[in-house]
């Protein structure tokens, strides 16, 4: 039996960017990154020009992202905050995919502690099929299963063009998105998901 | 011969969100949307809770996005601005794909007038293959061709995990991204691309 690949060799990781709509944005971003560092076990964080790269297994990424976004929301202290998250698995290189093999995913439990921070988010899930089972080429099927799971958890808030809207505690939204992304990965090698959070938006209630 | 599908029936459109990191963010966003309206011929804009949906053909989307982001940058007046853009084609429904047919793309010219606004951006391109030629299942091939085009235009600024970094005038970056997304669409039905701009970042020069 082949050993399980590591998050590093399988290319499991994330990119995240915090956008506080506040003149205090530098303090909010740097403060939140420092706060999340204490949750950083198992996560390699590398700040880039546009966003921060996070490498690690699914449970570590979920814990880190939850801590980071909750910390940013606390530091924003009621001011509007947008956060973009990209999760990717199955393509460990930068622009090229070096892996050619079977899809793989752990089945470790993925839960996150409630933060008390409410958010609305737009979510897209992209199974990219490379190296996967040809039967998986009906790529909408795992997406529909993920949306069914969103409905079952009560987080589903509506359908937009190209995205599903979720509403709830930041931890619950992240847990759903990380879990479905990981679970689609058991059938499809290369899977990417994008998530855009809006927190404390003045238009959130009116548009809901 | 079948008539060409319309942008609406083929699902050609975008989602965009402006994130000015400024206490003036509401004025900057609403002002930029009003400025861009004069470029709105052929684009249907619908503001959602998290982002704004734009429907229209590729040339109209390119013109509108260029006007919108340049206007936001002018109104931000040196303050930090992040912008996220999602472009999608070939999946006209909200979460489900109703189209089953051959990939299709126009070959109309796609250029945008220089704005004078410099940006750094992270770019990802996802050919989703649904209904497409099985030969297209090597989905990295059109991505590599798009990155080669980025190098040829001088906009390529580096490779990140899960994204390619571009640097240059906002119009040139958008033109490259819209063009390559459209051109991959000639071979693959459902193609999505995500682009995150950073404008006037205090860390941009240091990290470059």
Span B30-44, pLDDT tens digits: 999 999 988 777 899
- Give residue B94's pLDDT: 64
CA distance A74 to B143: 39
Smallest CA–CA distance, residue A113 to chain B, in Å, is 24
Smallest CA–CA distance, residue B19 to chain A, in Å, is 6
Chain A / chain B CB contacts < 8 angstroms: 173
Of A12-26, A122-136, B81-95, give the lowest mean pLDDT range. Answer: A122-136
Give me the residues of B, 90-109, that contact A with CB < 8 A. 91, 94-97
Question: Do the Cβ atoms of A15 and B163 come within 8 Å?
Answer: yes
pLDDT reading at B164 higher than 80: yes
Question: Do the Cβ atoms of B122 and A201 come within 8 Å?
Answer: no
Give the E-state strand segments of chain A in sequence order: 13-20, 44-47, 52-55, 81-89, 118-127, 156-160, 163-169, 191-199
pLDDT reading at A118 higher than 60: yes
CA distance A112 to B103: 41
- A2: pLDDT confidence band, cut at 50, 70 and 90? low
Question: Do the Cβ atoms of B95 and A130 come within 8 Å?
Answer: no
Q: How many CB atoms are located within 10 Å of the residue A132 CB?
A: 22
By C-alpha distance, the chain B residue nearest A11 is B161
Contacts of A143 in chain B (CB under 8 A): 95
- Give residue A14's pLDDT: 97
Contact (CB, 8 A) for B31 and B70: no
Smallest CA–CA distance, residue B205 to chain A, in Å, is 9
Question: Do the Cβ atoms of A96 and B140 come within 8 Å?
Answer: yes
Smallest CA–CA distance, residue A10 to chain B, in Å, is 12
- Give residue A93's pLDDT: 67
- A166: pLDDT confidence band, cut at 50, 70 and 90? very high
Question: Do the Cβ atoms of B84 and A80 come within 8 Å?
Answer: no
B93-107 tens-digit pLDDT:
666 666 666 788 888
Contact (CB, 8 A) for A181 and A110: no
pLDDT above 70 covers what percent of chain B?
86
Q: Bridge partners of A46?
A: A53
CA distance B79 to B201: 8
- Give the closest residue to B68 by CA, choosing from B11, B8, B118, B115: B115
pLDDT reading at A73 higher than 90: yes
Smallest CA–CA distance, residue A92 to chain B, in Å, is 8
- A131: pLDDT confidence band, cut at 50, 70 and 90? very low
- Give the closest residue to B87 by CA, choosing from B202, B200, B207, B196: B196
Contacts of B23 in chain A (CB under 8 A): 21-23
pLDDT reading at A126 higher than 80: yes
- Strand order of the β-sheet with B191-199 is B44-47, B52-55, B13-20, B81-89, B191-199, B118-127, B163-169, B156-160
Smallest CA–CA distance, residue A200 to chain B, in Å, is 11
B62-102 tens-digit pLDDT:
999 999 999 999 999 999 999 999 999 988 766 666 666 67
pLDDT reading at A150 higher than 70: yes
Cβ contacts of residue B104 below 8 Å, gap of 6+? B4, B5, B10, B185, B186, B189
The partner residue sitting opposite B48, judged by closest CB among A17, A91, A207, is A207
- Give residue B136's pLDDT: 44
Contact (CB, 8 A) for B64 and B13: no
Using a CB–CB cutoff of 8 Å, tell me whether B9 touches chain A.
no
- Give residue B99's pLDDT: 65
- Give residue B204's pLDDT: 57
- A94: pLDDT confidence band, cut at 50, 70 and 90? low
Integer-rounded Cα radius of gyration of chain B: 17
- A100: pLDDT confidence band, cut at 50, 70 and 90? low
Contact (CB, 8 A) for B83 and B134: no
pTM for the model: 0.92
pLDDT reading at B112 higher than 60: yes
CA distance B32 to B19: 12
Contacts of B80 in chain A (CB under 8 A): 25
Contact (CB, 8 A) for B106 and B182: yes
Token pair, residue B36, equals 């861009």
**Average pLDDT, whole number, for chain A?**
87
- Give residue B83's pLDDT: 98
- Give residue A202's pLDDT: 84
What are the Cα distances from residue A196, in Å, to A164, B93, B106? Answer: 11, 20, 30
Contacts of A124 in chain B (CB under 8 A): 86, 192
By C-alpha distance, the chain A residue nearest B96 is A140
- Give the closest residue to A33 by CA, choosing from B198, B140, B203: B203
User: Which one has a higher pLDDT value, A144 or A52?
Assistant: A52
- Give residue A102's pLDDT: 72
B123-153 tens-digit pLDDT:
999 988 644 444 445 566 777 888 899 999 9
Give me the residues of A, 115-154, that contact B with CB < 8 A. 120-122, 124, 126-130, 137-140, 143-144, 147
């Amino acid at each position: 039996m082949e050993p399980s690949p590591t998050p590093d060799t399988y290319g499991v990781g994330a990119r995240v960017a915090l956008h506080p709509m506040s003149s205090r944005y530098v303090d909010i971003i740097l403060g939140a990154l420092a706060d999340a560092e204490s949750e950083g076990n198992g996560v390699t964080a590398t700040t880039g020009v546009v966003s921060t790269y996070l490498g690690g297994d699914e449970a570590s990424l979920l814990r880190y992202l939850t801590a980071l976004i909750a910390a940013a929301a606390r530091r924003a202290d009621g001011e509007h905050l947008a956060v973009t998250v990209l999760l990717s698995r199955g393509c460990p290189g930068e622009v090229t995919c070096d892996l050619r093999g079977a899809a793989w995913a752990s089945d470790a439990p993925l839960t996150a502690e409630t933060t008390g921070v409410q958010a609305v988010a737009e979510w897209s899930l992209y199974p990219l099929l490379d190296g996967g089972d040809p039967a998986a080429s009906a790529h909408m099927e795992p997406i529909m299963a993920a949306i069914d799971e969103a409905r079952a958890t009560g987080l589903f808030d509506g359908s937009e063009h190209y995205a599903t809207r979720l509403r709830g505690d930041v931890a619950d939204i992240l847990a759903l998105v990380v879990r479905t992304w990981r679970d689609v990965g058991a059938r499809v090698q290369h899977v990417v998901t994008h998530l855009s959070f809006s927190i404390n938006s003045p238009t959130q209630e009116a548009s809901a």
